[in-house]
């Protein structure tokens, strides 16, 4: 059972997104924020592709990491954060199309670790193709981890 430690998680994530310059640079937009689940979209551009025109694997992995991380972030207390402890991405199909749709969710919540999964889909019109799945471990960063230790 998932437990939310901050009832105001959605506005907390939205506020964090205002300072999230990397996502803006990449062009990825988080479009759904729920308890233990997030999703977003990326309009594919030339800079997201390899020489062959297929989506770069690093872009796919990045989107999986982002949605899984924010899914875990929705569950931790307001003064806590999360970082990626581990990510494993399995690629199933070449990424090609107009957009990528990434969905991430928490499958097991813990005090120090949240275990998550993510899927990345290539989308052209009504056609959706699963291009990758990821499993991640998101480590909780506690407030005392930010304090100067003398």
Domains (ranges, CATH) in the chain?
9-142 (3.10.129.10)
Residue 23: the pLDDT is 86
Residue 5 has pLDDT above 80, yes or no: no
pLDDT-based confidence at 10, cuts 50/70/90?
Answer: confident
| Contact between 75 and 4 (Cβ < 8 Å) | yes
| pLDDT surpassing 80 at residue 137 | yes
pLDDT digits (tens, 9 = 90+) for 95-114: 988 999 999 999 999 989 99
Residue spans of alpha helices (H) in the chain: 9-18, 21-26, 57-73
Q: In this structure, are strands 37-43 and 99-109 parallel, antiparallel, or unpaired?
A: antiparallel
Strand partners, 98: none
In sequence order, the 6+-apart residues with CB closer than 8 A to the CB of 108 are 114, 115
> Residue 34: which residues within 8 A CB-CB, separation 6 or more?
74
- Has residue 149 got a pLDDT over 60? no
| pLDDT at site 38 | 95
- CB 36 within 8 Å of CB 107: no
Q: What is the pLDDT of residue 148?
A: 60
Dihedral over alpha carbons 48, 87, 125, 51 (to 10 degrees):
30
**Of all residues in the chain, what percent carry a pLDDT higher than 70?**
96
Instruction: Write out the H or E segment, with its range, that includes residue 40.
Output: strand 37-43
């Amino acid at each position: 059972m998932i437990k939310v430690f901050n009832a105001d998680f959605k506005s907390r994530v939205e506020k964090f997104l205002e300072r999230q310059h990397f996502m803006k640079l990449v062009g990825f937009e988080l479009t759904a924020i729920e308890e233990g689940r997030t999703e977003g979209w990326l309009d594919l551009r030339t800079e997201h592709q390899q020489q062959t025109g297929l989506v770069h694997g690093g872009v796919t992995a990045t989107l999986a990491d982002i949605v899984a991380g924010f899914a875990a972030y929705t569950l931790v207390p307001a003064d806590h954060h999360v970082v990626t402890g581990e990510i494993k991405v399995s690629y199933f199909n070449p990424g090609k199309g107009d957009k990528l749709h990434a969905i991430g969710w928490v499958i097991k919540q813990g005090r120090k670790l949240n275990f998550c999964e993510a899927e990345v889909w290539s989308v052209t019109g009504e056609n959706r193709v699963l291009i990758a799945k990821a499993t991640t471990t998101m480590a909780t960063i506690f407030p005392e981890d930010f304090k100067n230790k003398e």
